[in-house]
Amino acid sequence: MTSVYRALFCDLRTDQVRDAFPISSVSIEDYIGKTGTLTATLTAPDHDTAERVRTAVIPGRTAVWIERDRAIWWAGIVWTAALSSTDRGIPAQAEIQAATFDSYLDHRLLTADLTATNLDQLETARRLLAFAQDAEGGDIGIRTTTQTSGVARTRKYSRYDLPKLRDLLDKLAATDNGFEWRIRCYRDTDGERVKELQLGYPRITTSSTDTDTVLNFPGPIASYRFPYDATTRATHWRSRGATNSTSQRPLMSAALYIPGAIEEGWPRLDGTSDYTTVTSKTVIDQHATADLREAWNRTTVPEITVNLDAAALTPAILGATVRLRIADVWADQLTGRYRVVGFTVRAPESGQPESASLLLDAATSSVADQGDDD
C-alpha cells in the first residue's frame, strides 16, 4: 500500500494549526550534526485552495510538520515558497523549501555577553537556547531536558562578536570530549507535537547491541555506496585562535598527530583550522584535537538505500545502530555495525518506490600531542 504524506502548517511561535494539505514530490532529510531539509510541492487546482495556501504558508513564520500515514516523520520551518503556473493545463503549484528547527538558531545572534564558568557543557548548550527563546518573539517552543555530561567547561561569549547562536552551539559541541545535539520532533503520548533539544554525550544513541536493526544486501538494501576520500584527511594538525593585540600573533594549539599513522606507512598530511574568537589555550587545543580526529576519520561515510516497504524503518532510526550483512564481492570489507547519522526519504512518485537513504557513522581514532614544533 502506498504511504500518504500530509503537511500540517502551523504558526511558528504558537504551533497553532493554520491548515493541512496533501503534498507531492516530497524529499525529507534529517541528520545528527547538521541541518535537515524538506522540498515538496503543494497543488492549487482552484482559487479557494490557492488562497488557503497563501494564507497558511508564510515563509519565515510558519512551521511545517510532515505526516506519513498520520505519524510525524519530519518538522521544521518554511523558509521559501515559490508560486508558479503554466499554460499547459497543469494546476498551479507552490514549491516549498524548509529546514529543521535548528535552522532558527542560524537567524539569531548573541546580543549580550554570556559567561559560563566551570559549567557542564550540556547546561551551557541549554543556556544558549534559553537566550534565544527568552527574547521577545524568540520562543518557538523548543523543550529542553536535564541530562548532564560530567564535562565542565568555561566559556566567555562577547556580544561584540555578534556570533550566531547556531555557531556557538556547534563549536561548543565540536571540541574534544564534546557532545552531539539536534532538535528532535515527535508526538507525545497525549498526542501533542513536541520540539525538543536532544543532547547526547558523547553521542546521540537510540539503541544497544541487542536491538540492532539488521539490513541485508541482497534484501531490504537496494543499493549501497562506500566512498573513500583522502582529499581532506590529515595525520597532523594545528589550530589558530585569536590574534594577540601585543605580539600580533595568533594563539596556536599544540602540534597534534595521529599515533601510528606514519609508522603504518601514511605520508605526513597537514591540516589546520581557525577559531578567531578563541583566546584560551585549553579551548584551542580541544578544538584542534576534535578537528584532527574528524579529519583522520572522515575517509569512509557509507550510505545505503533501502526499500521502506521491506525494511520498515522510520526517522527514529537516527542515532541507532544497524548491522549490515552484504553478500557480494565487497562483503569482507563492508559487513559490520554502523550508527545512523542521516536519514533521507523520497516519497513514491510516478511508479518509483518509496525509499530511504541512511548515512552511516565511521569509527574514531586517538590523537596525541607531539609538542611545539615551531
Give the CATH number of the domain where residue 77 resides.
Answer: 2.30.300.10
> 95 Cβ partners below 8 Å, 6+ apart?
39, 40, 41, 81, 82, 84
Predicted pLDDT at 262: 97
In a domain, 366, yes or no: no
In a domain, 86, yes or no: yes
Examine the pLDDT at 19 and tell me if it is beyond 90: yes
Residues 30 and 91 in one domain: yes
Sorting pLDDT into bands at 50, 70 and 90, what band is 111?
A: very high
Sorting pLDDT into bands at 50, 70 and 90, what band is 256?
A: very high
What is the Cα 165 distance to its own chain's centre?
15
Sorting pLDDT into bands at 50, 70 and 90, what band is 193?
A: very high
Q: Taking Cα atoms as reference points, which of 124, 121, 369 lies closest to residue 252?
A: 369
Q: Identify the domain boundary among 78, 104, 130.
A: 104
Residues 99 and 112 in one domain: no
Examine the pLDDT at 259 and tell me if it is beyond 60: yes
**Amino acid found at 196:** E
Predicted pLDDT at 73: 96
Mean pLDDT of 210-219: 84
In a domain, 365, yes or no: no
Residues 14 and 63 in one domain: yes
**Amino acid found at 332:** D
Predicted pLDDT at 207: 62
- Give the residue with greater pLDDT, 209 vs 349: 349
Per the structure, the complete domain to which residue 128 belongs is given by 108-200
pLDDT in tens, 149-189: 999 999 999 999 999 999 999 999 999 999 999 999 999 99
Predicted pLDDT at 87: 74
Tell me how far apart the alpha carbons of residues 259 and 306 are, in angstroms, rounded to a whole number.
Answer: 37
Tell me how far apart the alpha carbons of residues 36 and 32 are, in angstroms, rounded to a whole number.
Answer: 9
Predicted pLDDT at 332: 67
Residues 25 and 79 in one domain: yes
How far CA 171 is from CA of 53, 120, 223, 272, 289, in Å, comes to 38, 15, 34, 15, 13
What is the DSSP secondary structure assignment for residue 63, as one 8-state letter? E
Mean pLDDT of 127-132: 98
Omega before residue 91 within 30° of 0, cis: no
Q: Identify the domain boundary among 84, 104, 124.
A: 104
Sorting pLDDT into bands at 50, 70 and 90, what band is 210?
A: low
Residues 251 and 288 in one domain: yes
Residues 222 and 327 in one domain: yes
- Give the residue with greater pLDDT, 205 vs 172: 172
Residues 182 and 114 in one domain: yes
Residues 221 and 311 in one domain: yes
Q: Which long-range contacts (CB under 8 A, 24 or more apart) does 142-147 make?
A: 142/101, 142/183, 142/195, 142/196, 142/197, 143/194, 143/195, 143/196, 143/197, 144/196, 144/197, 145/196, 145/197, 145/198, 145/199, 147/122, 147/199, 147/201
> Which class for 150: exposed (0-12), middle (13-18), buried (19 or more C-beta within 10 A)?
exposed
Give the CATH number of the domain where residue 165 resides.
Answer: 3.55.50
Cα torsion at 120, 123, 128, 131 (round to 10°)? -130
If one counts the domains in the chain, the total is: 4
**Amino acid found at 84:** S
In a domain, 286, yes or no: yes
Residues 219 and 268 in one domain: no
Predicted pLDDT at 299: 61
pLDDT in tens, 229-248: 899 999 999 999 999 989 99
Cα torsion at 163, 166, 170, 172 (round to 10°)? 60
pLDDT in tens, 306-344: 988 778 888 989 999 888 888 888 876 677 888 999 999
In a domain, 369, yes or no: no
Which has the minimum average pLDDT: 19-23, 79-83, 307-311? 307-311
In a domain, 322, yes or no: yes
Q: Identify the domain boundary among 200, 218, 245.
A: 200
| SS3 label, residue 168 | helix
Report the residue count for the chain: 374
Examine the pLDDT at 216 and tell me if it is beyond 80: yes
Predicted pLDDT at 21: 96
Examine the pLDDT at 209 and tell me if it is beyond 50: no
Tell me how far apart the alpha carbons of residues 299 and 272 are, in angstroms, rounded to a whole number.
Answer: 17
Residue 144 · residue 128 · CB < 8 Å: no
Residues 147 and 176 in one domain: yes
In a domain, 36, yes or no: yes
Predicted pLDDT at 228: 83
Predicted pLDDT at 44: 94
Q: What is the 3-state secondary structure (H, E, C) of 179-229?
A: CEEEEEEEECCCCCEEEEEEEECCCCCCCCHHHCEEEEECCCEEEEECCEC
Predicted pLDDT at 300: 65
Predicted pLDDT at 13: 97
> Which class for 227: exposed (0-12), middle (13-18), buried (19 or more C-beta within 10 A)?
exposed
In a domain, 373, yes or no: no
Residues 347 and 270 in one domain: no
Residues 148 and 289 in one domain: no
Omega before residue 218 within 30° of 0, cis: yes
Query: What does pLDDT average to over the chain?
Result: 91
